[in-house]
Structure 1
Amino acid sequence: MSQKIIEGMFFDELMVKCEKTPDTTIVTFENGEYGDEPLTYRDLFVNTCKVARRLKDSGIGRGDTFSLVMRNHPEFLYCMGAASMLGAVVVPIDPRSKGGKLSYQIKDSSSKGVIFTSEFTEEVEKSLAALNGVKVLGVVHKDGFAAPPREKYRDFNEILSGPEVPPVDGRNDDVKAPLEIIYTSGTTGDPKGVLIKGNRMPMFKLLAQFVWGYTDADKLYTGLSLTHGNAQAVTLVPSLMLGVPSVISRKFTKSRLWDICRKHGCTTFSLLGGMMMGIYSEPRRPNDADNPVKKVISAGTPIAIWEDFEKRFDVKIHEWYAAVEGGFAHNPPGAGPVGSFGKTLEGVMEMKVVREDDTECAPHEIGELVFIPKEGKAEVEYVGKKKASREKTRGGVLRSGDMCHRDENGWFYFNFRKGGGLRRQGDFIQPEYIEKVLADMDEVSDVCVYGIPAESGAPGESDIVAAVVPAVGKTIDPGSIFRRLSASLDNNSVPSYLQVVDEIPKSASEKNLDRILRGEFAKDAKNVFGSGDYR
């Protein structure tokens, strides 16, 4: 090797691993009925070099951005490695983005080109028609997808099946150079692109070693989209950099999750709170606890199901809190109270709950969660949004936008998103308790509880809507559901309306997109039932 190896550089780490253990199967992409795609370090290195050469020949170089529109596939990893090698910036976009939202992210990130899987050809072409100067860099084809338009675009499969090529000359040697732009979920509006530098990758490795406690005996699993920071931080990067094997599903599946873990011997996986309620709402099986999983790394475990989930599936929950912009806290199994997302890392940062004037809240007083670095100032760069970037770190602290509280012993708890709390007749309502009661019903396979402006017109008050998805082969009897809710909940927590839907819309991070449900809600709609009609 003529060029110096840069420790912590994503591509360089792959290259070193390929030299040492080329035939180690490190990542297996689980594709359901279409079969698995196991990758060795040699596969990763060889194909990353091919993709980097293709990108360079297409005019993608240092500082240039290009977008990915695909689910979890090996090509995602090759593109990340190629970006690291070239000093380019990869923009992974939630493949469920359509129309204006997809166009917005491609344009907002100043992407020069797009790589996508053929299942998204129609949506990508619609978006590109509204943009100028953005070219198609390649189309990936997979079993089960429509054939790619080979007469129009370069077939990525052809590139990968071609001859091997060496790494490009003049590889990127700046580990602090931007590597990715990861967009926020956009649960309240247009998503914001967060610039991620290459030196964040080795931080994920350290967390895996000293916080998650991964060992050689582990096998990691995720079904979260690689377009989201969680899947990269908790599963992908630790797997590649530590040499701990992992399994990554093409997309999240709550019904097959445990069977996948059994088949592959996975010992740990990562979840977000919305996913956990969905898994919990699956019909109970006699073998629920018969699985190899020891620990679930979860961000946002609903307190209402925390202990039941651990007991039912015989796992321990390692709760944590973080955002793509930064900040970190965790609550290892047995360390802190159930319901707490934990404490931050001593010596690295400080965590406080503050009032509007930045004075610290008393225990159990709700305020905004902020993080203060022990050294320097908090920095966040939203692409093209200097004002929003400055506001996010006003006063040198990272402002989470999450309303939280702490107890007398310094353990922190999430309450609600700033501006998004549910209040009814003066009481703050915890949606997760309502969701648990519904999730325990056999006829419900998924649920999302949200608020709409109260019919009373009281400022800050909400009427509660429970959107439910019927289980396969089951029907929803609104009267029966309202009666059981009334028997299990206090009066203020009983939803005003049931909204029966085919599915709960999700973000890339599997957050429930209640704003979409809210937009579809109408009191006189055929799929909406009012509690007042069943008293």
Structure 2
Amino acid sequence: MLTIHELITKQGRERPEKAFLRFKDSAISFSELKERVSSASALLREMGVKSGDRVALMMSNHPEHVIIYLALAWIGAISVEVSTHLKGGGIQLQLNNAEPQFFIVDAEFVPEVRVALDELRFVGLRILVRNSVDPKLERPFCSLSLEHRYVPSEAFPATLDRIHTISYTSGTTGEPKGVVISERFFQVGAKNAGILGDVRDSDILFLWEPFYHLAGWMTVVIALQRGVTIAMVERFSGSQCWDQIRASGATILHYLGGAMNILLRQPARPDDRDNPIRVAWGAAAPKSSWLAFEERFGVTIREGYGISEAQNFTHLNLEGRVGSIGRPAEEFESWIVGEDGKKLPNGGVGEIVVRPKLPGIVMTGYFRDPKKTAEALRDGCVYTGDLGYRDDEGFFYYSGRKKDSLRRRGENVSAWEVERVINSHPGVEESAVVGVPSDMGEQDIHAFIKPVAGARIEPLELIDWCESQLAYYQVPRYLDFVDEFPRGPTQRIRKAELPTSVAASWDVESSGRPSNARKRR
């Protein structure tokens, strides 16, 4: 298995004229990639970046972001991606944890970065502003331009076990944590993603993910491993996605559950199946959407499972078993444990545990957080915090986040299971379920629902729908109908940003109708 700089050199030698990256009306060949990465690394070294330095990046999707990221690997520096959606306080939180020596930002993000600098707990940060036209930049800001080519520099003699990146979790269930990842992690992850996507020499990978999500960089590494082309766009657009794919000739699409549902909710078109995509690979495909997506768009779904702490993909569903995340990839073993930590029999729902068969292919730990690291990494295993079960044939199934569960009427309730039922209602586009304090103790269930465009759902109709398919203690008490959800980079709903008050919510307890939840209290 080769390192990133070895792959760049190999593909530049073997496929010099083949396009590595297409973006808008421009393209970078594999030979040009090596030249530009080497030149950029020389510039960054001249500006003081050294092997082992932590370098934060806050840039949009564009070719220079890719060049700079690969140049940092060429140097042996550690990349720390920062979400382009963060504001001053969020940027400050991540910088104070990572304490990078350098911060490379697009000019548009400078105002928020200035806010973040007010209360940094460390000193010495240098901020490099990409292609800035501001002549008044003062320390710690300075301009960074890749327009001029520099004398190529030799790559740092990196090994697969060097620390390659610190990837911050989304923070959907708590404070973001910095996941420390080696190059070996990336190479194994990209290899398995390539297997899941059935990537072939002639394929073109459609890249829409923001680069503060690991899937974006995994796509880049797949292209380097297999010598295939990337067609990149600036951001995900449900209304433009298929037209962008047709224009680019992309044959492989990466999805996540939220993005899949957004595409399905677009108005049907006569040319829906007239697209070049052969395989859509990814994770979190809702069972109700899986077959609908394949049928409507004429593609094959290849589902997998992974988390930042364990691997991009620890499980692969290569057989197409609808609803399953598949079996463990060849580098892993996996099983399900109960609250007591003991293995559960097939069919029992509990926490998914993953054990790597090789060293260095899961996270090193959470950056500067030994306590949280010890919770996730135990006895050579990764405790994922995700719930699931295994069937008698060894196929695994996802059942939601362990921390995204509620305690109601003395019973544990999976928010994911309640959402699954609500989302199956023909008038519902998507939902989010959270727990709120109950006057009876423990929690009540608060559901936020986004209806299908033009649909009108009566609250009692939805309660009836839930009661027909859920246990009494799983039925929501509060309902709110929303136009949009706050979302993270992968289109996942950010529940922490949903309103916490139920004062204006529809309440089944006040509706005058006795629900099963009330009758069995």
Q: TM-score range by the shorter chain?
A: 0.7 to 0.9
Equivalent in the alignment of 2:495 = 514
Q: How many aligned residue pairs are there?
A: 498
Equivalent in the alignment of 1:465 = 447
Equivalent in the alignment of 1:102 = 91
Q: What stretches of structure 1 of length at least 5 have no aligned partner?
A: 1-6, 30-34, 142-146
1:363, distance to aligned residue in structure 2 (A): 1.8
| Contact 1:193–1:382 (CA under 8 A) maintained in structure 2 | yes
| Contact 2:463–2:476 (CA under 8 A) maintained in structure 1 | no
Report Cα offsets for 1:273-319 as digits up to 9, x if no partner.
22222222223333222222122112111112222222122222111
For residue 147 of structure 2, the aligned residue among 161, 165, 171 is 161
Equivalent in the alignment of 1:343 = 327
Letter in 2 for 1:503: E
Do residues 228 (structure 1) and 213 (structure 2) align? Answer: yes
Equivalent in the alignment of 1:186 = 171
Letter in 1 for 2:104: I
Distance 2:182 2:167 in 1: 11
Letter in 2 for 1:339: G
| Contact 1:354–1:370 (CA under 8 A) maintained in structure 2 | yes
| Contact 2:52–2:77 (CA under 8 A) maintained in structure 1 | yes
Equivalent in the alignment of 1:256 = 240
Distance 1:396 1:286 in 2: 52
Equivalent in the alignment of 2:203 = 218
Do residues 436 (structure 1) and 436 (structure 2) align? Answer: no
Task: Please give the secondary structure, in 2, of the residue aligned with 1:401.
Answer: strand
Do residues 401 (structure 1) and 385 (structure 2) align? Answer: yes
Distance 1:362 1:172 in 2: 47
Equivalent in the alignment of 1:369 = 352
| Contact 2:432–2:493 (CA under 8 A) maintained in structure 1 | no
Equivalent in the alignment of 2:77 = 88
Query: Given the superposition, is the C-alpha separation of residues 431 and 71 from structure 1 closer, same or farther in structure 2, using an over 3 Å criterion?
Result: farther
Q: TM-score, normalised by structure 1?
A: 0.85
Query: Given the superposition, is the C-alpha separation of residues 375 and 17 from structure 1 closer, same or farther in structure 2, using an over 3 Å criterion?
Result: closer
| Contact 1:316–1:333 (CA under 8 A) maintained in structure 2 | no
Report Cα offsets for 1:413-470 as digits up to 9, x if no partner.
11121132257665756244345346x54xx7x63321232645353x4323124278
Distance 1:223 1:457 in 2: 46
Do residues 138 (structure 1) and 119 (structure 2) align? Answer: no
Do residues 523 (structure 1) and 502 (structure 2) align? Answer: yes
Equivalent in the alignment of 1:198 = 183
RMSD: 2.8
Letter in 2 for 1:485: L
1:502, distance to aligned residue in structure 2 (A): 5.3
Equivalent in the alignment of 1:32 = none
For residue 17 of structure 1, the aligned residue among 3, 11, 22 is 11
Distance 2:452 2:194 in 1: 41
Equivalent in the alignment of 1:453 = 436
1:111, distance to aligned residue in structure 2 (A): 0.4
Letter in 1 for 2:17: D
1:198, distance to aligned residue in structure 2 (A): 2.0
Task: Please give the secondary structure, in 2, of the residue aligned with 1:160.
Answer: coil
Task: Please give the secondary structure, in 1, of the residue aligned with 2:220.
Answer: helix
1:44, distance to aligned residue in structure 2 (A): 2.3
Distance 1:494 1:173 in 2: 54
Query: Given the superposition, is the C-alpha separation of residues 150 and 54 from structure 1 closer, same or farther in structure 2, using an over 3 Å criterion?
Result: farther
Q: Which 10-residue stretch deviates more, 252-261 or 38-47?
A: 38-47
| Contact 2:444–2:476 (CA under 8 A) maintained in structure 1 | no
Letter in 1 for 2:102: G
Query: Given the superposition, is the C-alpha separation of residues 401 and 196 from structure 1 closer, same or farther in structure 2, using an over 3 Å criterion?
Result: same
Equivalent in the alignment of 1:273 = 257
Letter in 1 for 2:42: R
Equivalent in the alignment of 2:519 = none
| Contact 2:41–2:71 (CA under 8 A) maintained in structure 1 | yes
Distance 2:512 2:32 in 1: 61
Query: Given the superposition, is the C-alpha separation of residues 263 and 484 from structure 1 closer, same or farther in structure 2, using an over 3 Å criterion?
Result: farther
Percent identity, aligned pairs only, is 27
Query: Given the superposition, is the C-alpha separation of residues 86 and 413 from structure 1 closer, same or farther in structure 2, using an over 3 Å criterion?
Result: same
Do residues 128 (structure 1) and 117 (structure 2) align? Answer: yes
Task: Please give the secondary structure, in 1, of the residue aligned with 2:351.
Answer: strand
Task: Please give the secondary structure, in 1, of the residue aligned with 2:373.
Answer: helix
| Contact 2:59–2:84 (CA under 8 A) maintained in structure 1 | yes
| Contact 1:468–1:498 (CA under 8 A) maintained in structure 2 | no
1:61, distance to aligned residue in structure 2 (A): 0.4
Q: What stretches of structure 2 of length at least 5 have no aligned partner?
A: 514-521
1:128, distance to aligned residue in structure 2 (A): 2.1
Task: Please give the secondary structure, in 2, of the residue aligned with 1:304.
Answer: helix
Distance 1:379 1:396 in 2: 11
Equivalent in the alignment of 2:43 = 54
| Contact 1:178–1:198 (CA under 8 A) maintained in structure 2 | yes
Equivalent in the alignment of 1:176 = 161
Distance 1:431 1:248 in 2: 36
Q: TM-score, normalised by structure 2?
A: 0.87
Distance 1:161 1:464 in 2: 53
Task: Please give the secondary structure, in 2, of the residue aligned with 1:75.
Answer: helix
Report Cα offsets for 1:94-119 as digits up to 9, x if no partner.
11122222112122112011111122
Distance 2:437 2:127 in 1: 50
| Contact 1:139–1:148 (CA under 8 A) maintained in structure 2 | no
Q: Which 10-residue stretch deviates more, 504-513 or 319-328?
A: 504-513
Query: Given the superposition, is the C-alpha separation of residues 275 and 396 from structure 1 closer, same or farther in structure 2, using an over 3 Å criterion?
Result: same
